Amino acid sequence: MVNKKEINKSFTEIGLLEKYYESKPIALAVSGGPDSTALMFLISKSKKIKKNDVTILTVDHALRKESKSEVDLVKSNAKRIGFKCKILKWNGVKPSSGIQEAARKARYSLMLSWCEKNSVNKLFLAHHLDDQVETFLMRLSKGSGVDGLSSMSNITINSSISLIRPFLEIPKNKLIVIADSSKMKWISDPSNLNSSYQRSRMRKLLPIFSEEGIDPHHINLVIKRMNSAKEALNEIVNANIDKYVKNMNDISYSLSYESFNKLSPEILLRILERLIMISSGSIYPPRRSKLEKIHSWLIKENEVSAKTLSGTVIRKRKDYVIFYRELKNCESSLNIFPITSRYLSWDNRFYLKLGKSKKLEVRSLGNDGVRIMKSKKLLKKNGMNNIPLSAWKAAPSLWSKKRLISVPSLSYYALDDIKVYIKSTRKP
């Protein structure tokens, strides 16, 4: 256990927070529990981090009658130490099963959306060593490989937002001591004791594992080694992507069949995973079992020519496999305004920024847009006819009502005074 004499020493953890700060607005995810309360308190003690750069984000899941009073407590604590606070509400019908996972996804979606709309590119999270160990055990129970057993990273990039986890090597009991020292009230989530949740069951097993030497310290050592292995594998994957993958205007990607004869199944599966995630904009990889089925299908002859996985179309051609976004899964339309300081993220695949022009609508090119492009014979320009028409349908385009104004990937502009800046959110 951590005692109160260690409190002052604990404040050295402020340095872990400051190293991720760049004199720009940041957001903190605060639930009101001891972990996030400690995060908020430590940042308030920083001499480097400006208080007016900090916004506290707390989510009202509306799952328990206490939820409103809990977010109000967070807001009160934030005000007490000089931080702005925004309460985000999870509205709509809640699922009858898988509620924890659904709540987690809703929580991240709400906070990331707020960050994007408010030009905040760093969201701090209070995940700690105990969370890391529990995540490892949960993934171990599901048969995860190297990537899954690497557990959480200090930095995860989600579209334009960096998720920062500075406390992954700090035990929960230390954060509780810090939270207590803040003199702020904090909340103990009753779901943490609910054995119907796997995380709670893993938490209860930890003392038993520790008796056999499988304690948080040793598990964290395994996690670090898994991360080293993952980095080494990624270096090999990156080198072979450069060799065997062709990027076609960020609209589609082709993988040479030559790679199937020269690469190990593990490296090939990782390349397939990467191309599917980039094509779909997904931040989560498809299940390994589904990837393995795609691999088996690709090496068989006389099979169907195309399949879909995770919102990506995978199509066989003579000498290569082509990957592109499935139209029906594209993000709906968004308004984009001129001369803004930030890029707008669309479909988690592209950043767009509008120069001199009026407000426009960003949406997939679709059938109508492709028909216009074909009539102008623009798809034959620079060999772009190698990209399937169905892939072009999922390309970003700008419209004014029913008039097609721009297809940035084709450098097409219907107006002389319009300028669109576009870049891919990720590269293969």
Task: Provide the pLDDT for residue 354.
Answer: 86
Amino acid (one-letter) located at 82? G
Tell me which of 8 and 112 has the higher pLDDT: 112
Average pLDDT over residues 321-343: 86
Task: Provide the pLDDT for residue 7.
Answer: 47
Q: Is a pLDDT exceeding 60 seen at residue 386?
A: yes
Task: Provide the pLDDT for residue 336.
Answer: 86
Q: Is a pLDDT exceeding 80 seen at residue 5?
A: no
Q: In Å, how far are 173, 289, 290, 326, 421 from 296, measured between CA atoms? A: 48, 11, 10, 21, 40
Cα–Cα distance measured from residue 388 to residue 142, given in angstroms and rounded to the nearest whole number: 37
Candidates 321, 230, 221, 216; CA nearest to 279 is: 321
Cα–Cα distance measured from residue 112 to residue 318, given in angstroms and rounded to the nearest whole number: 41
Task: Provide the pLDDT for residue 188.
Answer: 83
Cα–Cα distance measured from residue 24 to residue 50, given in angstroms and rounded to the nearest whole number: 9
Are the CB atoms for 154 and 165 separated by under 8 Å? yes
State which H helix or E strand residue 111 sits in: helix 99-117
Cα–Cα distance measured from residue 354 to residue 341, given in angstroms and rounded to the nearest whole number: 10
Domains observed in the chain? 4-220 (3.40.50.620), 236-328 (3.30.465), 330-424 (no CATH)
Select, from the ranges 1-5, 192-196, 314-318, the one with the highest average predicted confidence (pLDDT). Answer: 314-318
Are the CB atoms for 98 and 63 separated by under 8 Å? no
Average pLDDT over residues 374-402: 84
In tens, the pLDDT along 14-33 reads 998 999 999 999 999 999 99
Task: Provide the pLDDT for residue 383.
Answer: 56
CA atoms within 13 A on the CB side of 252: 23
Q: Is a pLDDT exceeding 90 seen at residue 255?
A: yes
Cα–Cα distance measured from residue 157 to residue 114, given in angstroms and rounded to the nearest whole number: 16
In this prediction, what percent of the chain has a pLDDT beyond 90? Answer: 62
In tens, the pLDDT along 195-221 reads 777 888 998 888 898 888 999 999 999
Mean pLDDT of the chain: 89
In tens, the pLDDT along 165-180 reads 999 999 999 999 999 9
Cα–Cα distance measured from residue 370 to residue 336, given in angstroms and rounded to the nearest whole number: 21
Cα–Cα distance measured from residue 332 to residue 180, given in angstroms and rounded to the nearest whole number: 45
Q: In Å, how far are 8, 209, 214, 215, 402 from 174, measured between CA atoms? A: 11, 21, 20, 16, 59
β-pair partners for 341? none
Q: How confident is the model at residue 190 (pLDDT cuts 50, 70, 90)?
A: low
Tell me which of 190 and 5 has the higher pLDDT: 190
β-pair partners for 397? 363
In tens, the pLDDT along 118-132 reads 989 999 999 999 999
Cα–Cα distance measured from residue 86 to residue 57, given in angstroms and rounded to the nearest whole number: 5
Average pLDDT over residues 322-331: 95
Average pLDDT over residues 340-344: 71
Which three-class secondary structure state does DSSP give residue 303?
coil
Task: Provide the pLDDT for residue 2.
Answer: 47
Structure tokens at 245: 């993958």
Contacts 24+ apart (CB under 8 A), 258-263: 258/319, 260/298, 260/299
Q: Is a pLDDT exceeding 50 seen at residue 71?
A: yes
Q: Is a pLDDT exceeding 60 seen at residue 83?
A: yes
